[in-house]
Chains A and B, each alone.
Chain A
Amino acid sequence: MTDAIVARETGAAWAAPTWDDVVRQHADRVYRLAYRLSGNRADAEDLTQETFVRVFRSLSDYTPGTFEGWLHRITTNLFLDMVRRRARIRFDALPEDAAERLAASGPGPEQRYAENHLDPEIQDALDALPADFRAAVVLCDLEELSYEEIAATLGIKVGTVRSRIHRGRVLLREALAHRAPGVRPVEAGSTSAEDGA
Chain B
Amino acid sequence: MSRPAPRFALPHLSDEAVAAFADNVLRDGARYRAQQHIGECAECRSAVADQRQARSLLRSAPLPALPGDLLERLRTVPVSAPLPSGPPVVSALSADGQPLFAAFGTGRDTGPAPSSAASPAVSAPASTVPGAPPADRSWAHRHHLPTLGLGVVAAATVMVGALATTAPTAGGGAPAPASPGPVQQRTASPGESDLQAVFQPVVDLTGRR
Is there an interface contact between A192 and B43, defined as CB atoms closer than 8 Å? yes
Is there an interface contact between B81 and A8, defined as CB atoms closer than 8 Å? no
The minimal Cβ–Cβ distance linking B148 to chain A, given in whole angstroms, is 11
By a CB distance below 8 angstroms, the chain A residues around B176 are: none
Q: Does B158 contact A (CB under 8 A)?
A: yes
Q: Does A137 contact B (CB under 8 A)?
A: yes
Is there an interface contact between B42 and A194, defined as CB atoms closer than 8 Å? yes
When chains A and B are docked, how far (Å) is the Cα of A20 from the Cα of B23?
36
Is there an interface contact between A53 and B82, defined as CB atoms closer than 8 Å? yes
Interface residue tally for chain A (C-beta within 8 Å): 75
By a CB distance below 8 angstroms, the chain A residues around B46 are: 184, 192
Encode contact with A along B65-90: 1 for CB under 8 Å, 0 otherwise. 11100110111011001111000001
Q: Does A117 contact B (CB under 8 A)?
A: yes
Is there an interface contact between A27 and B95, defined as CB atoms closer than 8 Å? no
Q: Does B171 contact A (CB under 8 A)?
A: no
B interface: dominant SS: mixed
Across the two chains, which residue of chain B brings its CB closest to A126? B58
A interface: dominant SS: helix
Is there an interface contact between A17 and B66, defined as CB atoms closer than 8 Å? no
A sample of 10 cross-chain residue pairs with beta-carbon separation below 8 angstroms, ordered by A number, consists of A20-B193, A32-B63, A41-B64, A119-B61, A141-B54, A142-B58, A147-B25, A162-B15, A169-B55, A192-B42
Question: Hey, which bits of chain B sit against chain A, CB under 8 A?
Answer: 2-3, 15-16, 18-20, 23, 25, 42-43, 46, 50-51, 53-55, 57-67, 70-71, 73-75, 77-78, 81-84, 90-96, 100, 102, 138-140, 158, 160-162, 168, 182, 184, 186, 192-193, 195-197, 199
